[in-house]
Amino acid sequence: MDRFAYTGIRVRDLDRSLRFYTRVMGMRELLRGTMDHGGVYVHLKAPGSTQRLELNWYPRSSPHYRPYRNGEELDHLAWWVRDVPATFRRLVRRGATPRIPPWREGRWELAFVSDPDGIWIELIGRALGLRRKASGR
């Protein structure tokens, strides 16, 4: 594992959560994007901190959607890794539960495993083919 990247939480109302984390908690928006399945993510950071918080909103049609219950908003923990498929295989061999096998979304490779308590762990890295082109190999 290379380095811890961020913590992602599920939100019921993205606008409401953004107002809270920016106005109340003083965080600023760094990045926003749409997932292939229609979900939206927003990365936030507090002044003076290197850690990020990712807000994840999923439409009912998303395969990641599940009904909300208070206290279940932790969506996932994320790690940057150099080789997503190899790391996924290694973690599963060591006892992680496979959740979503590696796939490519744009220039990124992603995969999910979970810990013994069911907390999802995202593995994210540049797609291998794109890294080779960028490095001239």
Active-site entry in 54, 73, 109, 122: 122
92 vs 87: CA distance, rounded Å? 9
Decide if 54 is catalytic.
no
Q: What is the DSSP letter of 47?
A: T
Longest Cα–Cα distance in the chain = 49
Asked if 62 contacts 39 with a C-beta cutoff of 8 angstroms, the reply is yes
Residue 98 φ then ψ, to 5°: -70, 135
CA dist list (Å): 22 to 38, 76, 128? 23, 21, 35
> What residues are labeled active site?
122
